[in-house]
Amino acid sequence: MNLAPQHLVIAPVIIPLLAGTLLLFFDDRERRLKATISVMATVALLGVSILLLRTAHFEKGRIAVYLLGNWPPPFAIVLVLDRLSAMMLALTSVLAIPALVFSFARWHKAGPHFYTLFLFLLTGLNGAFLTGDLFNLFVFFEVMLAASYGLVLHGSGPFRVRAGLHYIAVNLAASLLFLVGVSLIYGVTGTLNMADLALRIPQVTAENRMMLEAGAAILGVAFLVKAGMWPLSFWLPTAYTAAAAPVAAVFAILSKVGVYTLLRLSQLFFGENAGASAGFGSDVLLFGGMATITFGMIGVLASQALGRLAGFSILVSSGTLLAAIGLSQSGVTAGALFYLVSSTLTIGAFFLLIELVERGQDAVANVLAVTMEVYGEGDEEDEEEEVGQAFPGTIAALGIGFAACGMLLAGLPPLSGFVAKFAMLSAMLAPQGEGGIIPAISWWVVSLIILSGVSALIAMSRAGIRAFWAPVEATAPRVQIIEFVPVAALLALTVALTVGAGPTMRFMEATAASLQNPAYVEGVMEAPRIPREARP
C-alpha cells in the first residue's frame, strides 16, 4: 500500500509551523537569514500543494486521509485531502509567495516577528482547509486569527491600531460563537468528526433537531462574520484598508476561509441526504449574499480611497460566492469556485498595486481634486498649455496593472473575471426542473452580479483617471523591481487562468460534483491504519 500521499497531507501544516518556530530563535536584525528561510518554506509549501493538487485530481478524485496518532476514525484527529481542499492549499501558496516577496522592500522591517506571524498565518489557513473535525477547525481558526491580529497591527500608526483593535474584538466574539455552536452540535450528536456527523445528522430525532439546527446556526454566524456577509461585514473594509500592503494581499484569502467552510459543511451536513435538515440555511446564504453584493456595490461606488475600494470589492466577491452557494446548483458552484480563485488573485494584486500607485500621490492634492470635480472649479484654463506630455515608464507600467485589475473586478473580457462570471451566469440561467423554467431568484442574482461589475467599472475608471490622468500634483513613484514583479506575477496567473479556462473549468466541475459525493465520508470512515509491522 502506498502511504506517501497520506503522509504528505500533513506537510502543508508542518512546513510553515516549523519554519515559523525556527525563526523565533533568531534576532530580528538578521533579516536576510529570516527572509531566506521564509522564502524556502513558502516555495516548499507551493511544491507540496501542487503535488497534492495533482494527487487529488488525477487519481480519480482520491480522498487522502492522515490519521494523527494512528487512531481509527472517528476517534482520530484527521486531516483530509480532496479536490476542494487541495485547490485552496494551492491558492494560499500562490498568493503567499508574491505577498512575502513584496514585503522585502520595506514592510518586513516595520515591526517585530513579521516572518513568524506570516508563516503561522499560513499554518492556520492550511490546517483549516485540511482538518476533518470541527474542534480542530476551531483550533486552526484560532492559530490563523492570532497571527492575523499581529499582522493587522504590523507597522503601527493610530489608524492601523484603531482598525486592528476593532478587528480583534469582532473576531474574538466570532470565536466565542464558534465554540458555542460546536458545543451544541457535540451535545446532540456526540461527535465532531465531519464525516461521522454527516452520517449521524440524518438520524437525529425530531426533539433534538431544534438544538442541532441552533448549534449549526450559531456556528454559521461565526463563519459569516469571517466571510463578511452583510450586516456582519462592518469591520472588514476599514481593517483591510489599514493593513500593510502585503498583509492586506494575503488577507484576501481570509474571507474565503469562511466561504470555504460554509460550502464544505452545508453540502456535507445539510445536503441531499440530510433528511429533514436538507437545505438548512441555504436561503440565508442566498439572500444574505444578495444583500452583501448590494452593500459592497454601494461601497465601491462611494469609495474615494483606493484601499476602501479594494475592501468593498472583497465584500462584492464574498456576496457573489455566498449567493452562489445558496442556490445549491452544481453548475453554479463550479463557476463560483473559478470566480473564487480569480477574485482572490485579483484583489491580492490590487492591494499590492495600491501602495505603489499612492506612493506618488499627495493626499492634500487628492482632496483638492475631488473638490474640483464636485464643484466644477478649475475647468477654465487661463493660459495655453503644451499639448501632450511624456508618460514615465513607471507610471505606464502601474497604469497597465491598474487597468488589468479594473477589467478583472468588472468581469470584462477576455480575462478570467469574465470567464468566471460567464460560467456562473450561464449556469444560473439554465432551465430547471421538468418544465424548463428559470427560477425568478436566479434573475435577481444575475442582475446583481452584472450591476456589481458595472459599479466596479465605474469606480475603477474614476479612480484611474484621478490617479493617472488628472492629478493636481503628482510625481512618478519610485518602485523597486521586487515590488512590481509580485503584482505582475499575480496578474499573469489570471491570464493563465484565461488561457487554461477549459481544463480549469473541468476541474471546478469535478470539484463541485464531489461535494455531494459520499466518497468523502467513506474515505474518512474507512481510512486504513498503518499496520503494526509497518511502523518504524
Return the closest-CA partner of residue 260 out of 104, 106, 90.
90
Cell of 263: 460550502
Q: What is the pLDDT of residue 5?
A: 56
Residue 194 φ then ψ, to 5°:
-60, -45
Judged against a pLDDT cut of 90, whether residue 389 lies above it is answered with no
Q: What is the pLDDT of residue 382?
A: 44
Q: What is the pLDDT of residue 385?
A: 46
What contacts 494, CB < 8 A, 6 or more positions away? 342, 345, 346, 349, 404, 408, 415, 416, 417
* Better pLDDT: 494 or 110: 494
Q: What is the pLDDT of residue 475?
A: 63
In the three-class reduction of DSSP (H, G, I as helix; E, B as strand; rest coil), residue 77 is classed as strand
Whole-angstrom CA distances from 188 to 135, 197, 273 are: 15, 10, 19
Q: Residue 362 — pLDDT band, cuts 50, 70, 90?
A: low
Residue 406 φ then ψ, to 5°:
-60, -45
- Please say whether the beta carbons of 123 and 42 come within 8 A: no
Burial label, 272 (beta-carbon count in 10 A; 0-12, 13-18, 19+): exposed
Counted residue by residue, the chain has a size of 536
Q: What is the pLDDT of residue 278?
A: 61
* Matching residue, cell 509549501: 45
Strands 64-68 and 77-81: antiparallel
Q: 174-225: per-residue pLDDT in tens? A: 999 999 999 999 888 888 888 888 888 888 888 888 888 888 889 889 999 9
CA–CA distance, 278 with 152 (Å, rounded to integer): 38
Return the closest-CA partner of residue 259 out of 289, 302, 291, 238.
289
Q: Summarize the confidence of residues 153-161 as an average pLDDT.
A: 83
Candidate from 19-28, 97-106, 242-251, 355-364 with smallest mean pLDDT: 355-364
What contacts 37, CB < 8 A, 6 or more positions away? 19, 22, 23, 115
What contacts 352, CB < 8 A, 6 or more positions away? 98, 99, 102, 245, 246, 249, 483, 486, 487, 490
Residue 274 φ then ψ, to 5°:
-90, 10
